A and B are shown apart, each in its own frame.
Chain A
Amino acid sequence: DAGVIQSPRHEVTEMGQEVTLRCKPISGHDYLFWYRQTMMRGLELLIYFNNNVPIDDSGMPEDRFSAKMPNASFSTLKIQPSEPRDSAVYFCASSLGGHLYRYFGPGTRLTVT
């Protein structure tokens, strides 16, 4: 298996633009997690899904952020409109069973100017 796949790897956009980050979890995994990593705040959980259903989105910072998982092999994290403070590395992770360790993707480095 190729592991968790994220795209794009890097994204640079202007403030106010819509940003869509994509994730393909490991096949067969039933949990998917979106994390954000910044120097100031470290690694924060934004939202996670179980069997494509959002379970906990309490980490989503604002209504500008939304996440979907239309099927077991694909999830998106959308920011609309983007702001400079959204600049961070966004990680997607998946796991088989929520108690097991997560497999992390390589991350998407987002820069909003």
Chain B
Amino acid sequence: AQSVAQPEDQVNVAEGNPLTVKCTYSVSGNPYLFWYVQYPNRGLQFLLKYITGDNLVKGSYGFEAEFNKSQTSFHLKKPSALVSDSALYFCAVRADTGRRALTFGSGTRLQVQP
């Protein structure tokens, strides 16, 4: 079975400061990893993915994520947070073979204060 853990329900950061949203995963085989963002009353929007290759993945809106196989982590980062980054962030995983369904984490609410 595959699973995702997002240990923080909420992350608070001041505008201009770096942010990190944590994600760890468990999967049989090689992982495909994703980050999605959800704004109020909207569907999920894709931010970035790791399939293979460089461990540091760059995505939309200045976000990036670092894949760490030994720690089974895929933390989302941004060097300088914006108030408009405030939203709900979901990490998701699936194995590279077999079941195509993504398993999502419980979500982390990011609050960026001006």
CB within 8 A of B34: which of A35, A91, A101, A103?
A101
Q: How many residues of A contact B (CB 8 A)?
A: 24
CB atoms of A42 and B46 under 8 A apart: no
A-facing residues in B74-114 (Cβ within 8 Å): 90, 94, 96, 99-107
Q: How far is the CB of A31 from chain B (nearest CB, A)?
A: 7
Q: Assess whether B56 is interfacial by the CB under 8 Å rule.
A: no
> In the assembly, what is the distance between CA of A103 and CA of B47, in Å?
11
Asked if A55 is an interface residue, CB under 8 A from chain B, the answer is yes
Given known A-B contacts A42-B105, A43-B90, A50 and B100 have beta carbons under 8 A apart = yes
Q: Chain A binding site: helix, strand, loop or mixed by DSSP?
A: strand
Q: What is the minimal beta-carbon distance from B42 to any residue of chain A, in angstroms?
A: 6
Q: Within the assembled complex, what's the spacing in Å between the Cα atoms of A48 and B102?
A: 10
Return chain B residues, CB-CB under 8 Å to A99: 32, 51, 94, 96, 100
Taken together as a complex, chains A and B put the C-alpha atoms of A103 and B34 apart, in Å, by 12
Q: Kindly provide the distance from the CB of A3 to the nearest chain B CB, expressed in whole angstroms.
A: 9
Interface positions of B (Cβ within 8 A of A): 32, 34, 36, 42-46, 49, 51, 90, 94, 96, 99-107
| Residues in chain A within 8 A of chain B (CB atoms) | 4, 31, 33, 35, 42-45, 48, 50, 55-56, 59, 91, 93, 98-99, 101-107
